[in-house]
Amino acid sequence: MKFLHEDKHDYFKILDVPKLPNDLQQELQVAIDNAKENDQDLGWVGKDKTFDTRTVTRDGKTMRSCRVHHNPLPESIDKWLKENVLSEYLYSSLAVTHPVSDTHGMHCGRTRRYLIMYLVETGGDNVITRGFEEEGYPRERINELDIQISNYDDHKLKQIDEIHIQPGDWVVIGAKTLHDVIGIEGYRVAVHIGIDSNFDLENWEYTDEEGMMKQYSLTEG
């Protein structure tokens, strides 16, 4: 599977899908404020406390990895996603990255093969999402439940792509490929849609901003 964006990106793809309507953006902001204040998590961080205390070493410097807490989306937004972006998916969530350092350490997804993300808050002016491959391993680690690279310096890693995602961007990411996020200075907030391995990402339909059904093929630039 090739991830192309104007022949520039090999790992990410900016999607031309509808923006959230203003009333839902306001509702989403209320949910974001509540998530930051309550600091609760219904996803893997809440079930696996190693994510709360994980450290990473990069360029000889050891730091805590940022935590991503997955909060439930308001039902009205989840309904809109199903009607306007993707009718079926593993889960949706409001993902809030807590800035305990400038790095969300390298990892792969547990259950999702692809992630469609709508970025709301970048977490800083110079936040970069990067994709990697590790020598001796396939680029997509399909058969591995979860991977966390704790010490970058001990692994033979090759960076294959990077992207600076802007607020309001919809982007698809191959979640089974090693990736990290660096340059985080504040809360980073996004809507997440997780997609499993059975989904045909080559060929799917969505409704554009004018209400027209369109077919999107990932391998077209």
Q: Provide the β-strand partners of residue 174.
A: 114
Half-sphere exposure of 166 (CA within 13 A, CB side): 4
Per-residue pLDDT reduced to its tens digit, 22-61: 999 999 999 999 988 876 655 544 444 445 678 899 889 9
Among 29-33, 93-97, 165-169, 202-206, name the one with the lowest average pLDDT: 202-206
The more confidently predicted of residues 119 and 148 is 119
Q: How many residues does the chain have?
A: 221
5 backbone dihedrals φ, ψ, rounded to 5°:
-140, 100
Distance from C-alpha of 134 to C-alpha of 129, rounded to nearest angstrom: 17
The pLDDT score that the predictor gives to residue 172 is: 87
The answer for residues whose C-beta is within 8 angstroms of residue 143's C-beta and 6 or more apart is none
The answer for residues whose C-beta is within 8 angstroms of residue 48's C-beta and 6 or more apart is none
Per-residue pLDDT reduced to its tens digit, 53-95: 788 998 899 999 998 888 999 999 999 998 888 888 888 999 9
Assign residue 132 the CATH number of its domain. 2.60.120
Q: At 16, is the pLDDT very low, low, confident or very high (cuts 50, 70, 90)?
A: confident
Please report whether residue 159 resides in a domain: yes
31 backbone dihedrals φ, ψ, rounded to 5°:
-65, -40
Q: Number of structural domains, the chain?
A: 1
Q: Is the pTM of this model over 0.85?
A: no
Please report whether residue 221 resides in a domain: no
Mean pLDDT across the stretch 162-186?
91
The answer for residues whose C-beta is within 8 angstroms of residue 154's C-beta and 6 or more apart is none
Residue ranges making up the domain that contains 77: 12-216
Q: At 200, is the pLDDT very low, low, confident or very high (cuts 50, 70, 90)?
A: low
Please report whether residue 4 resides in a domain: no
Q: At 109, is the pLDDT very low, low, confident or very high (cuts 50, 70, 90)?
A: confident
Give the dihedral sign, CA 19/23/29/35: negative
CB 159, CB 187: distance < 8 Å: no
Please report whether residue 7 resides in a domain: no
Please report whether residue 1 resides in a domain: no
